[in-house]
Amino acid sequence: MNILVTGGAGFIGSAVVRHILRNTTHTVVNVDALTYAGNLDSLAETVHSERYCFEHHNICDRAAMDTVLNVHQPDLIMHLAAESHVDRSIDGPAEFIGTNIVGTYTLLEATRQYYNNLNGDKKAGFRFHHISTDEVYGDLEGTTDLFTETTPYAPSSPYSASKASSDHLIRAWHRTYGLPVVISNCSNNYGPYHFPEKLIPLMILNALEGKPLPVYGQGEQVRDWLYVEDHARALYKVVTEGHVGETYNIGGHNEKRNIDVVHTLCDLLEQLAPAKPKGVNHYRDLITHVTDRPGHDQRYAIDASKIQQQLGWVPQETFETGLCKTVQWYLNNTDWCQRIANGSYQRERLGASA
């Protein structure tokens, strides 16, 4: 099959591309605008693959989307392209509205036209998979409640509101136009190639440089953590085996307070990187509590029983094994981190995508 992945140079998208190329015989077409979080370094292993093609386009560009669909004739579309950082959405929500809502609408309309022109088995097997987040559900007040696929939406940030909007568009295009869609909502991802603005890579890299480890408030916020390669396996399951019109929650069964995540990272670094920066006695000494961000959700937790029961997916990594792999990856891939820090990954992107 030809699988079109939007946002395939991002953190989760690149994991999906690598998973498909490593574990199947399918062809992947990666459509990515290469914004700040898009990094072709994360796809270095695809350079010589005859089953991979990169298209440098923005999903808001209807003409480009029409051309990509008509040229590559995908059997499946996996839509991951999105602005995804909550803090950035608070500082500048316009880009989130543009990419996550208008971009999704534009892609849906291009896909609808493409789908209506398909015939036979090609049309019968076509799927549009929209990848979303558990943040659309808002937060949980209790300590034992879980998000299910029928939990009402109550987004708290411009980011989660824009993703909730895109979810509603997907469902509307299914019901009104008959577009065969599936949706998945995931918990917090972590793992290799994670852009350093996010919690886990930020803490690792700051600690290694002896910089403060900023923790919002007292760090009591609870998140369910999902190793990105487990997520990639789940997404492939959903797009190839999921039932049309259904939603699947994907979680790692790893609820942790933010402060406990940071403590665990510090303890791992004590073992794996004992040669600390000058002036640092213990990595935990770098923890700094900062003013909490506006509208910060307190707890997320996913009930992932549906995808387990219907599609047979369960995460392979525990939080401890996944986090250890993640820390070790960052220690072993300082060049990747350095290219982000000095901006060279962006300066070279146009040449790399030509």
Which amino acid makes up residue 181? Answer: V
Q: How confident is the model at residue 349 (pLDDT cuts 50, 70, 90)?
A: low
| pLDDT over 70 (residue 348) | no
Taking CB atoms within 8 Å and a gap of at least 24, the contacts of 168-177 are: 169/101, 169/104, 169/105, 169/108, 170/104, 170/108, 170/128, 170/130, 173/108, 173/112, 174/244, 174/245, 177/112
Percent of the chain exceeding pLDDT 70 equals 98
The third-level CATH classification (topology) of the domain covering 2-193+225-253+296-318+349-353 is Rossmann fold (3.40.50)
Instruction: Write phi, then psi, for 95 (nearest 5 degrees).
Output: -65, -30
pLDDT tens for each residue of 110-120: 999 999 999 99
**Domain boundaries along the sequence of the chain:** 2-193+225-253+296-318+349-353
Q: At a CB cut-off of 8 Å and minimum separation 6, what does 12 contact?
A: 80, 131, 186, 189, 228, 231, 232, 235
Residue with tokens 């998979």: 129
The torsion region of residue 329 among left (phi > 0), alpha (psi -120 to 50) and beta comes to alpha
Query: Which tokens sit at 160?
Result: 């989660």
Residues 6+ apart with CB under 8 A from 74: 2, 3, 4, 29
| Model confidence at 351: pLDDT above 70 | no
Note the Cα 248 to chain centre separation in Å.
15
Give the mean pLDDT of 41-51: 93
The residues that are catalytic are: 134-135, 159
In this structure, which amino acid lies at residue 254? N
Q: Which of helix, strand or coil describes residue 348?
A: coil
How high is the pLDDT of residue 341? 83
Give the mean model confidence (pLDDT) for residues 143-168. Answer: 94
- The overall average pLDDT reported for the chain is 94
Give the pLDDT score at 16: 98
Q: Write down the pTM of the prediction.
A: 0.94
> What confidence score (pLDDT) does residue 316 get?
96
334 has a pLDDT exceeding 50: yes
* Predicted local distance difference test score (pLDDT) of residue 47: 86
pLDDT tier, 160 (very low <50, low <70, confident <90, very high otherwise): very high
- Please state, in angstroms and rounded to a whole number, the distance separating the CA atoms of residues 134 and 186: 5
DSSP states of 108-161: HHHHHHHHHT--HHHHHH-EEEEEEEGGGG---SSSS--B-TTPPP---SHHHH
Per-residue pLDDT, 239:
98
CA distance linking residue 282 with residue 278, whole number of Å? 11
**Cβ neighbours around 61 below 10 Å, total:** 17
- Virtual CA dihedral for 166, 169, 171, 177, nearest 10 degrees? -150
CB-based burial label for 296 (10 Å; 0-12, 13-18, 19+): middle
How many other C-beta atoms lie within 10 A of the C-beta of residue 284?
16
